Chains A and B, each alone.
Chain A
């Protein structure tokens, strides 16, 4: 679950990216974060993964006060969150298997007897059981994003944050990725997806949080991309 209480973020130079934001996303929810470029979506996400710290207000993720985490606690905090990006952020010189296994290795799990079954399971879940030995550049965009989702899920996070996950994909592929996220949500993972993809938002009728100029201008259950 995600809670923001009176959160503002002002960057050096006085740019106000978020302005007194209050929001609560309960466990198991699937929420879209929409709004024009520069509205504050990226800042919102950066605050959740402690890439930035709120100038004022408090951010809670998984019941932890994110702004008050000590530097040493940050890695352990992040291990409970999965993140997917528009540009996939896969390591080009690692195979699919190695990319997906990477978070586990980073967490200190080095025994492939433990890693391999989990890699098999998540790649099965994202629908890519047969390309573990391929490199990212041998895959299509949609396949690469599936690998990225698999990597974000391998450590069974409570929350999956997707920042424009369909931004680089054609409509059909985008739709497949969203279907995948819905499936993951149905297993109990809270999902927050920032997007510009109007069709997907309108089709799914999930919660829509609309940000503009750093403020929440609309927050609707079963919402559409634009206000009705």
Chain B
């Protein structure tokens, strides 16, 4: 039974760990996607250059803004030419440079896009503000959903592991019923009876954590390389402190679940 609960706790923690890895990488990916969201403000040809400079300065001091880049009319035209490639000769048909200059604002978080866009729209020198409204909204919806779903799954797994630990302790206590009966008879306090079981639960949980940590520590790097190879378009650059933190968290979670499961079981048993 003890082996069974170590295994189950291990499996639960492993799934928990896997989910945390997935969520963490999603977070990284989403963050990367979020910073790709630009707000582009097209500048009126008639705008006062000093005013545009002021606007640019105030934007770069905004806490939500990652960077601001001024794209001149000439640069816009050069980009257009590059985009068109071998069809660039079409531009020859056009008189002068019809493209406006612009401020390309890169944001730290996609959530701030609507506010920044609105703020820019009010500026006299700005003709029009553009950002990928539906992309931002969809991205935010997906991020929120994934975070919620992930948290629910992790909570559910923790509850299952806790429940299994409770049952393990209960079985252990039934097996040691005569001893507990005698302990209580000769005047053992409830805590005296409880401690060994709580330590046992904690130990089993920790053991499950160790198994999980070993599996993750061995499998993490190869898996990451696999995933990165598959999803080349997404940046999967992990924080190097993520793995040690994850392992510490899993060990802690194992011990905590073990101790908590045992405690609940022992309490029920002693109060009955």
Q: Which residues of A contact B (CB under 8 A)?
A: 49, 71-72, 75-79, 83, 89, 91, 102-103, 106-108, 151, 155
Q: Which residues of B contact A (CB under 8 A)?
A: 178-179, 181-190, 192
Residues of A near B187 (CB, < 8 A) are: 75-79, 103, 106-107, 155
Taking the nearest CB of chain A, how far is it from the CB of B179, in angstroms? 6
> Which 6 residue pairs are nearest across A and B when measured between Cβ atoms?
A79-B187, A103-B186, A78-B187, A106-B188, A75-B187, A75-B189
Q: Please report the C-alpha to C-alpha distance between residue A151 and residue B192 in the assembled complex, in whole angstroms.
A: 18
Residue in chain A with minimal CB distance to B185: A83
Residues of B near A71 (CB, < 8 A) are: 190
Residues of B near A106 (CB, < 8 A) are: 183, 186-188, 192
Cβ–Cβ contact B182 & A102, under 8 A: yes
Taking the nearest CB of chain B, how far is it from the CB of A102, in angstroms? 7
Taking the nearest CB of chain B, how far is it from the CB of A164, in angstroms? 16
- 21 inter-chain pairs at a CB distance below 8 angstroms, sorted by A residue, are A71-B190, A72-B189, A75-B184, A75-B188, A75-B189, A75-B190, A75-B192, A78-B185, A78-B187, A83-B185, A89-B182, A91-B178, A91-B179, A102-B183, A102-B186, A103-B186, A106-B186, A106-B187, A107-B186, A108-B192, A155-B186
Cβ–Cβ contact A78 & B179, under 8 A: no
Name 4 extra pairs, CB < 8 A, besides A78-B184, A106-B183. A49-B185, A71-B190, A102-B183, A107-B186
Residues of A near B183 (CB, < 8 A) are: 102, 106
Residues of A near B184 (CB, < 8 A) are: 75, 78
Q: Please report the C-alpha to C-alpha distance between residue A103 and residue B188 in the assembled complex, in whole angstroms.
A: 8
Most buried by A among B182, B186, B189: B186
Residue in chain A with minimal CB distance to B271: A71
Q: Please report the C-alpha to C-alpha distance between residue A183 and residue B179 in the assembled complex, in whole angstroms.
A: 29
Q: Please report the C-alpha to C-alpha distance between residue A204 and residue B182 in the assembled complex, in whole angstroms.
A: 30
Residues of B near A75 (CB, < 8 A) are: 184, 187-190, 192
Cβ–Cβ contact B186 & A79, under 8 A: yes
Cβ–Cβ contact B178 & A89, under 8 A: yes
Residues of A near B185 (CB, < 8 A) are: 49, 78, 83, 89
Q: Please report the C-alpha to C-alpha distance between residue A54 and residue B182 in the assembled complex, in whole angstroms.
A: 22
Residues of B near A72 (CB, < 8 A) are: 189
**Partner of A89 from B181, B188, B190 at Cβ < 8 Å:** B181
Residues of A near B192 (CB, < 8 A) are: 75, 106, 108
Q: Please report the C-alpha to C-alpha distance between residue A76 and residue B184 in the assembled complex, in whole angstroms.
A: 10
Taking the nearest CB of chain B, how far is it from the CB of A100, in angstroms? 11
Residues of B near A49 (CB, < 8 A) are: 185
Q: Please report the C-alpha to C-alpha distance between residue A155 and residue B188 in the assembled complex, in whole angstroms.
A: 13
Q: Please report the C-alpha to C-alpha distance between residue A107 and residue B187 in the assembled complex, in whole angstroms.
A: 7
Taking the nearest CB of chain B, how far is it from the CB of A206, in angstroms? 25
**Partner of A78 from B178, B186, B190 at Cβ < 8 Å:** B186
Taking the nearest CB of chain B, how far is it from the CB of A101, in angstroms? 11
Q: Please report the C-alpha to C-alpha distance between residue A75 and residue B187 in the assembled complex, in whole angstroms.
A: 4
Most buried by A among B181, B182, B190: B182
Residue in chain B with minimal CB distance to A77: B187
Q: Please report the C-alpha to C-alpha distance between residue A221 and residue B97 in the assembled complex, in whole angstroms.
A: 125
Residues of A near B188 (CB, < 8 A) are: 75, 106
Residue in chain A with minimal CB distance to B182: A89
Q: Please report the C-alpha to C-alpha distance between residue A89 and residue B178 in the assembled complex, in whole angstroms.
A: 7
Taking the nearest CB of chain B, how far is it from the CB of A35, in angstroms? 23
Cβ–Cβ contact A151 & B178, under 8 A: no
Q: Please report the C-alpha to C-alpha distance between residue A49 and residue B187 in the assembled complex, in whole angstroms.
A: 10
Residues of A near B181 (CB, < 8 A) are: 89
